[in-house]
Amino acid sequence: MCAFVAVHAGAGTHSHKTEDVCLKAVCKSKGDIIEAVKELENDFRTNCGFGSNLTFGGHVECEAAFASSEGHVFGAVGVVSRLRNPIEVAAMVAKEQSCIDKKFVLPTVLVGQGAEDWAQKRGIILCDPKSLISKRSQQQWREAREIVKDWEKETMDTVGAVSYENGGCNAACSSGGIILKAEGRLGHTTQIGGAIWADQRDSRSIAVALSGCGEYIAQTLLAKTLAETLFNW
């Protein structure tokens, strides 16, 4: 059982109902950071998994990442349309890094069909991409296509979570990306040190999970930069 778990629904303007979504995610997670993010992915009010923002062409392309101070592992998936819970697969990618018998260099980031095929071979059931589109995200997509000036009113809400247990820490995030993004676009989620970072030094552990405009966050490796700043405080 984790000693501490926290989640957020991302940057942007949210209704008070989003607070209930976050509270539900923490309560139902039973201390498991992956389960907490899966709860957020399953709720249409968050921009990840079901209900994700749609690309310019009206498709769902999700991304997610997981990092842990234990073994300093990182795993991410991007541009996936058939994974109901991308964070689950991102965590699987990360945890395979701890495999002792490594005959090959194991991947840390998988994208597109390659990521989906990798997950399916490990028992993950793929879903119909259309099943991830909510009425809300489809309506927002139509409005954004018609009125470009209203883009700035939409949220850029990558959800995130951090946890702490026995001196170690974990960070996770999941996102549908910005609305009307280009097909195949990758945000900061899949970049190690961009959206998330988890590290332990002596008795100090720091986990970071960020939300915002991915292109700018990625340029600064903001999650890692924040952690380094706190370690050096």
pLDDT confidence of residue 104: 81
pLDDT confidence of residue 179: 86
Q: Which residues are catalytic?
A: 158
Whether 85 contacts 42, CB under 8 Å: yes
Cα 160 to Cα 46, 47, 48, 57, 102: the distances in Å are 11, 11, 10, 26, 30
Whether 186 contacts 63, CB under 8 Å: yes
Q: Which of 17-26, 149-158, 185-194 has the lowest mean pLDDT?
A: 149-158
pLDDT confidence of residue 216: 87
Picking from 12, 32, 9, 33, the residue whose alpha carbon sits closest to that of residue 21 is: 9
Q: Which of 6-20, 101-115, 119-133 has the lowest mean pLDDT?
A: 6-20
Q: Find where tokens 């405080």 sit.
A: 233
Q: What is the mean pLDDT of residues 144-168?
A: 75
Six token digits for residue 193: 């040190």
Question: What whole-number distance in Å separates Cα of residue 23 and Cα of residue 182?
Answer: 32
Where does the pLDDT of residue 145 fall: very low under 50, low under 70, confident under 90, or very high at 90 and above? confident
pLDDT confidence of residue 2: 52
What one-character-per-residue DSSP string does 51-102 give?
TPPBBTTS-B-EEEEEEETGGGEEEEEEEESS-S-HHHHHHHHHHGGG-SS-
pLDDT confidence of residue 166: 87
Whether 63 contacts 76, CB under 8 Å: yes
Q: What is the mean pLDDT of residues 77-93?
A: 98
User: Residue 150 above 80 pLDDT?
Assistant: no
Q: Taking the model in full, what pTM does it have?
A: 0.92
Picking from 74, 110, 97, the residue whose alpha carbon sits closest to that of residue 207 is: 74
pLDDT digits (tens, 9 = 90+) for 198-222: 999 998 999 999 988 888 888 999 9
User: Residue 81 above 90 pLDDT?
Assistant: yes
User: Residue 168 above 90 pLDDT?
Assistant: yes
Amino acid at 84: R
Query: Which position has the higher pLDDT, 157 or 125?
Result: 125
pLDDT confidence of residue 214: 82
Question: What whole-number distance in Å separates Cα of residue 4 and Cα of residue 78?
Answer: 28
Whether 89 contacts 172, CB under 8 Å: no
* Residue 230 C-beta-side C-alpha neighbours within 13 Å: 16
- Describe the chain by its helix, strand, coil percentages, rounded to 5: 40, 25, 40
Question: What whole-number distance in Å separates Cα of residue 166 and Cα of residue 111?
Answer: 33
Whether 120 contacts 126, CB under 8 Å: yes
pLDDT confidence of residue 1: 45
Cα 154 to Cα 146, 166, 179, 187: the distances in Å are 14, 39, 7, 16
Q: What is the mean pLDDT of residues 66-75?
A: 95
User: Residue 117 above 50 pLDDT?
Assistant: yes
Highest mean pLDDT among 3-12, 14-23, 77-86, 165-174: 77-86
Average pLDDT, the chain: 90
Whether 170 contacts 163, CB under 8 Å: yes
pLDDT confidence of residue 170: 97
Q: What is the mean pLDDT of residues 84-99?
A: 94
